[in-house]
């Protein structure tokens, strides 16, 4: 609900100023006109800046969405009213962001508005798939089943993401620790050893001179590459927020040797699973495809799906509309055609979605199986080169001293 400040004219001609709570401006004007003849002006009251809770999540996780959908399914199935269901789930939710969203939704729903409209208004960080599936369930009278489908969809997405995150944890930790150790060696240890090496009074090996030069550069000018990295990173970040940047980066990801396959499988799984969930909720194919085009992770795939909507409206089948796709796997398009021909499109999409989920996970495991030993080898070479550069002059001096001490 929003608070609106208005100025109106009563039947006796007197002007009145007041405030009213309503879902939107149109409802507010309607309520005011029940009392006053003319509404001269109305505007929303700007609330003070909301206190930022740093313990509140930045987005609603797949796990929270799956749990919330399951709770809605169980409570609605047991006969609770929608308002009471939202209040109970809000009170039980362990996610602060979801709890705040649901409490705002409870007020709107109790005032007579739909859950989907309220989620769209209050849940800016809730995915469009969740909101549109709820809307379709409300419109078709199959809301309980829509929540059941959402629970399955987000549970599977959460499981897949957890597998990928757990697989990436080890190499990321190793890389971070390696960078820290090498930085300490180059900035602290090598300058200390440099004085000792230079005091030996003999020509240093090439590898040692290179190590000293690199160490001196980072000790005195290390902030320069740091500034460059930060500047490039920020530039790429803001460019990636633009439409051209999203398209360029998504196409680049697909061309990378190992990451390309993982990204393609992920996009195919997202397309199939999301489309199956929306179609099961009763959405028409064009509307469902439009939502998928906005939520799929690869922007180039999303653009292709968006362009396919015009072909669908022109009379093509979904398989025919996607047949010219450059980025979706051909097998996905073929299976969509088979599903349409057999009249089992939803089930076919679920099956192919599970297949590409498994393919993405397997590809990630294979990539990490190659990455871990590669990281170990590279770090071994770097650390070995540093050790050799430090101790080679000492060996040379001791060898020379031993030879000069012979009779």
Residue with more model confidence, 199 or 335: 335
**Contacting residues for 8 by C-beta, under 8 A, at least 6 apart:** 15, 16, 17, 18, 32, 35, 36, 37, 38, 39, 40
Q: Which of 126, 157, 175 is the last residue of a domain?
A: 126
pLDDT at 112: 81
Q: Is position 10 within any domain?
A: yes
For the ranges 44-48, 109-113, 243-247, the maximum mean pLDDT occurs at 243-247
Round to whole Å and give the CA distance between 258 and 369. Answer: 12
With 90 as the cut, is the pLDDT of residue 162 above it? no
pLDDT mean over 308-336: 90
- Where residue 46 falls among pLDDT bands split at 50, 70, 90? low
> Does 395 share its domain with 324?
yes
Q: Is position 56 within any domain?
A: no
Residue with more model confidence, 208 or 158: 158
pLDDT at 403: 44
Q: What is the pTM of this model?
A: 0.68
pLDDT at 204: 73
> Does 98 share its domain with 173?
no
Strand-pairing partners, residue 21, are 3
> Does 323 share its domain with 214?
yes
> Does 17 share its domain with 102?
no
> Does 149 share its domain with 91?
no
Round to whole Å and give the CA distance between 128 and 132. Answer: 6
Q: Is position 406 within any domain?
A: no
With 50 as the cut, is the pLDDT of residue 60 above it? yes
Nearest residue to 234 via CA among 222, 250, 245, 247: 245
CATH number assigned to the domain comprising residue 358: 1.20.81.30
Contact 350, 276 (CB under 8 A): yes
pLDDT at 39: 80
Q: Is position 368 within any domain?
A: yes
Q: Is position 55 within any domain?
A: no
Give the DSSP per-residue string, 171-215: HHHHHHHHHHHHHHIIIIIHHHHHHHHHTT-SPPPHHHHHHHHHH
pLDDT at 407: 46
Q: Is position 136 within any domain?
A: no
pLDDT at 388: 82
Mean per-residue pLDDT over the chain, rounded: 82
Round to whole Å and give the CA distance between 115 and 109. Answer: 6
- Where residue 404 falls among pLDDT bands split at 50, 70, 90? very low
Among the residues of 123-189, which ranges form H helices? 128-140, 143-184
Residue with more model confidence, 65 or 209: 65
> Does 105 share its domain with 224?
no
Residue with more model confidence, 351 or 40: 351
> Does 270 share its domain with 339?
yes
Q: Based on the structure, what is the number of domains in the chain?
A: 3
Determine the structural domain holding residue 290 and report its residue range: 142-400
């Amino acid at each position: 609900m929003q608070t609106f400040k208005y100025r109106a004219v009563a039947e006796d001609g007197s002007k009145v100023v007041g405030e009213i709570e309503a879902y939107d401006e149109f409802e507010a004007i309607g309520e005011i006109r029940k009392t006053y003849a003319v509404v001269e002006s109305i505007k929303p009251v700007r609330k003070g800046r909301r206190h930022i809770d740093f313990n509140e999540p930045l987005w609603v996780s797949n796990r929270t969405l799956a749990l919330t959908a399951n709770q809605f399914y169980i409570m609605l199935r047991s006969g609770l009213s929608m308002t009471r269901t939202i209040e109970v789930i809000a009170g039980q939710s362990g996610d602060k962001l979801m709890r705040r969203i649901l409490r705002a939704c409870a007020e709107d729903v109790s005032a007579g508005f739909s859950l989907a409209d309220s989620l769209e208004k209050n849940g800016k960080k809730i995915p469009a798939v969740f909101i549109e599936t709820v809307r379709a369930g409300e419109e078709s009278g199959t809301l309980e089943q829509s929540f059941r489908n959402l629970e399955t969809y987000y549970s599977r997405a959460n499981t897949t993401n957890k597998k990928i995150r757990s697989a990436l944890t080890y190499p990321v930790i190793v890389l971070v620790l390696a960078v820290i150790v090498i930085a300490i060696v180059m900035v602290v240890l090598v300058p200390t050893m440099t004085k000792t090496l230079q005091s030996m009074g003999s020509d240093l090996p090439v590898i040692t001179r290179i190590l000293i030069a690199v160490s001196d550069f980072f000790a005195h000018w290390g902030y320069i590459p740091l500034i460059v990295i930060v500047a490039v990173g920020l530039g790429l970040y803001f460019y990636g927020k633009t439409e051209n940047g999203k398209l360029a980066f998504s196409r680049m990801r697909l061309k990378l040797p190992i990451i390309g396959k993982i990204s393609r499988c992920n996009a195919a799984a997202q397309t199939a699973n999301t489309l199956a969930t929306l179609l099961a909720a009763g959405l028409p194919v064009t509307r469902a495809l439009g939502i998928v085009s906005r939520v799929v992770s690869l922007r180039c795939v999303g653009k292709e799906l968006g362009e396919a909507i015009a072909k669908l409206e022109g009379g093509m089948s979904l398989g025919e509309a996607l047949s010219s796709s450059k980025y979706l796997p051909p097998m996905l398009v073929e299976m969509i055609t088979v599903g349409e021909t057999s009249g089992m499109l939803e089930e076919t999409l679920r099956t192919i979605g599970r297949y590409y989920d498994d393919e993405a996970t397997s590809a990630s495991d294979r990539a990490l199986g190659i990455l871990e030993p590669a990281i170990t080898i590279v770090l071994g070479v770097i650390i070995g080169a540093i050790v050799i550069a430090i101790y080679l002059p000492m060996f040379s001096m001791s060898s020379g001293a031993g030879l000069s001490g012979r009779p």
